[in-house]
């Protein structure tokens, strides 16, 4: 945990959340009315980030990284991260519009980068929960 808190890359990933929220507002993404319910906050900030990161980073991206071809990079993004993030964004089509699901791609790439940097899902879960909390609170204002 000390490594995480002293790592500049971690703080850049944390700062990317508020930047993404501002972009969502600028793009005019639909905003729900009123504050999110307690159950929405529990699911969106605690449960979904944990489950999604375990499945997508801890399982899918980890498996893909075992293949040499998927370790190739486009800048800081591995092909394993890119493939996982595309599937992650597509999974949001279940309950979101195509535009909203596509907007999930950028945060997913950040979560994948964090997974590869720290080789553990806990930082991904924390970051994902933070991004979701900010999104839910910002869009409730």
Cβ-in-10-Å burial (0-12, 13-18, 19+) of 138 comes to middle
Is pTM beyond 0.75 here? yes
Domain boundaries, the chain: 2-140
What is the Cα–Cα distance from 77 to 107, expressed in whole angstroms? 12
Query: For the segment 27-45, what is each residue's pLDDT rounded down to a tens digit?
Result: 777 666 666 778 888 998 9
Record the tokens describing residue 31, joined without a space. Answer: 């905003």
E-strand stretches of the chain:
73-74, 77-78
Tens digit of pLDDT for each residue in 48-67? 999 999 999 999 999 999 99
């Amino acid at each position: 945990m000390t490594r995480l808190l002293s790592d500049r890359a971690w703080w850049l990933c944390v700062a990317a959340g508020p930047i993404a929220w501002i972009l969502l507002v600028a793009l005019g993404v639909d905003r729900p009315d009123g504050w999110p319910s307690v159950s929405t906050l529990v699911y969106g900030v605690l449960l979904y980030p944990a489950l999604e990161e375990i499945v997508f980073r801890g399982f899918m991206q980890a498996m893909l990284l075992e293949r040499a071809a998927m370790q190739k990079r486009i800048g800081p993004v591995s092909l394993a991260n890119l493939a996982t993030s595309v599937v992650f964004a597509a999974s949001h089509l279940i309950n979101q519009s195509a535009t909203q699901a596509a907007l999930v791609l950028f945060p997913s790439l950040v979560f994948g980068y964090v997974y590869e940097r720290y080789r553990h899902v806990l930082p991904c879960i924390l970051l994902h929960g933070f991004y979701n909390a900010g999104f839910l609170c910002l869009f409730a204002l």
